[in-house]
Amino acid sequence: MAFQYQSVVPWGRSFEEYQRMFALTAEDLNLRIIGCADGPASFNAHLAKSGRQVVSCDPLYRLSAQQIQKRIDATYEDVIGQTRQNQAKFVWTNIKSPDELGQIRMTAMQMFLSDYEQGKAEDRYVVGELPHLPFEPAAFELALCSHFLFLYSDQLSLAFHQQAIESMCTVAYEARIFPLLTYNAERSQHLDRTAAGEISSSRL
């Protein structure tokens, strides 16, 4: 059975997962970072607690904490259920099972929710979405995009990917994207053309 999602789901990753996904060093964490399509991840909240700051950008932030919680609750069983049915597509090394995965995700999303209102007041959670980011050129040093670009290749066109990566490379000097596969663990049909440099920015 393949994963089937009609739209992007609110499914936040933890700070530790961000570190592994993007190979973030201690020096990286001191950079001016923009998280694109961060959703309900705990990366921002974790850095805020350690006195550092990242700006997260997502259309989800139009909603209240209570509305986001409802979306998470409505999504959780579907995502974990599909994960159980597709266990063979995952490498269960750092996370041992779908149940442990669900616990890690919910812990991360609850940390996000507990930080959300304060983060919005501090302009750490900004309403906006790819491919058009509401920031000035070179406003950041590092742009991250987790589980959005390439993951939803069936829903998002090649042109969308090209424009989104151009936008990330305009607002930041470096862009990192994870993963480069679709949510069915298949190589994205958009990857080769974007990796071949079919965008105008030279900073990818």
* pLDDT tens by residue, 51-62: 998 999 999 999
Residue 55 lies in a domain: yes
Tell me which amino acid residue 76 is: Y
Residue 8 lies in a domain: no
Residue 13 lies in a domain: no
Residue 75 lies in a domain: yes
Q: Give residue 64's pLDDT band: very low, low, confident or very high (50, 70, 90).
A: very high
Residue appearing with tokens 């990917």: 161
Residue 7 lies in a domain: no
What's the rounded mean pLDDT across residues 146-150?
A: 94
Residue 16 lies in a domain: no
Distances (CA, A) of 6 to 74, 153, 155, 183, 188: 14, 12, 8, 12, 17
Instruction: Give the percent of the chain with pLDDT over 90.
Output: 68
Q: How many CB atoms lie within 10 A of CB 88?
A: 7
**Cβ-contact 170, 137 below 8 angstroms:** yes
> Which CATH number do you get for residue 70?
3.40.50
Residue 14 lies in a domain: no
Q: What range does the domain containing 112 cover?
A: 24-195
Residue 120 lies in a domain: yes
How many separate domains does the chain show?
Answer: 1
Strand order in the sheet with 140-146: 125-126, 54-57, 33-36, 140-146, 172-178
